[in-house]
Amino acid sequence: MNASQVLTLTAGVMCLSIAALAAPPQHAVITRPVADMFSKPTRDADVVSQAICSTTVDLLAKHGKWFQIRTPDEYTGWVEKKALRKLGAASYPSTPKVAQVENLRAHIYREPSVTDHAPLATLPYETRLEVVREGTGKEAAGDDERWIEIRLPDGATGWVQRGDITLNAKTLTIPELVELSKRMLGLPYTWGGSSSFGYDCSGLAQMLCRRGGANLPRDAGPQADWSGMTKVERADLQPGDLLYFGGAPDKITHTAFYIGGGLFIHATTNTHPVIQISRLDDAPWTKLLVACRRWKK
């Protein structure tokens, strides 16, 4: 092989590599109620975040029975293959009508009955489901309108009670977000948590702002630096503002959602590892506050 052939072959390999890198990623949908995302393709690695059932993700790499994924908030991590299903041309949900879990947890049943069998699955808040039909078609049962048949991301069908979901998920106002935040009180603090099974501090703040129409970054530091934020003085705080705590403005380690009257709600391990309400004037928070932000709706 002469030098010209070597150059031609090398150029061809480089073009193939670039094409492979430039190719759009495959997509998948999370099928587990909550899928932990690990920093490496092993359960011995640390959890960096979570993806809830029905989340569409990009597939970036594969290692054995693991896939590296990217969630809609641009966060990457490794999940087990059994936690997702690859998508083809169709997305999920693909039906015109979508049910979104509105309670903190919703049982999915194999038939429209809460007594005949154990739930097929229990799904967290914000899970989105394909609606197959409303009602059982058995009006004689007396509760036809109580049930909605849905299709899960793994293709299985089931039934959910209307009181657990909404068919008209909407952007919430600040007062509505304050009420929503209080519904989360007592949920366990979970490192990397981004579901109603357990949030961490930035996961809770991200969820609340998402329901208000703003797609924040996943972690506290990047949230405070996000272009959609404006700086706010402590004396000018309003309900819905975000508080950031740490050793310095460039060393943020914690965030909280301000609810007014000097109070804020947050997921913390301080004293009790649950979502709780704290006072901004109390220790240790008053000395650790390093930034206040107002997000743009």
Nearest of 197, 125, 122, 195 to residue 152 by alpha carbon: 122
Q: What confidence category does residue 142 fall into, taking pLDDT thresholds of 50, 70 and 90?
A: low
Whole-number Å distance between alpha carbons of 224 and 294: 9
Largest CA distance in the chain: 84
Query: What is the per-residue pLDDT across 100-123, written as a single tens digit (0 to 9) for each?
Result: 999 999 999 999 999 999 999 999
Query: Is the pLDDT assigned to residue 51 strictly greater than 60?
Result: yes
Query: Is the pLDDT assigned to residue 47 strictly greater than 60?
Result: yes
Query: What is the per-residue pLDDT across 62-83, written as a single tens digit (0 to 9) for each?
Result: 999 999 999 999 999 999 999 9
Instruction: Compute, in degrees rounded to 10, the torsion defined by CA atoms 274, 280, 284, 286.
Output: 150
Task: State the burial class of residue 27 (Cβ atoms within 10 Å of its Cβ: 0-12, 13-18, 19+).
Answer: middle
Q: Taking all residues of the chain, what is their mean pLDDT, rounded to a whole number?
A: 91
Query: Is the pLDDT assigned to residue 130 strictly greater than 70?
Result: yes
Say if CB 199 and CB 55 are below 8 A apart. Answer: no
Query: Which residue segments constitute the domains of the chain, with CATH numbers given?
Result: 24-87 (2.30.30.40), 98-166 (2.30.30.40), 174-295 (3.90.1720.10)
Tokens found for residue 244: 């950031």
* Segment 283-296 mean pLDDT: 96
Q: Is the pTM of this model over 0.75?
A: yes
Q: What pLDDT is stored for residue 136 in this prediction?
A: 83
Say if CB 130 and CB 56 are below 8 A apart. Answer: no
Query: What is the per-residue pLDDT across 150-179, written as a single tens digit (0 to 9) for each?
Result: 999 999 999 999 999 999 999 999 999 999
∠ Cα 195 120 137 (to 5°)? 110
Q: What pLDDT is stored for residue 19 in this prediction?
A: 36
Percent of the chain with pLDDT over 90: 86
- State CA 77 to chain mean position distance: 13
Tokens found for residue 253: 């380690």
Query: Is the pLDDT assigned to residue 266 strictly greater than 60?
Result: yes
Question: Using alpha carbons only, how large is the chain's radius of gyration in Å?
Answer: 23
* Segment 10-29 mean pLDDT: 55
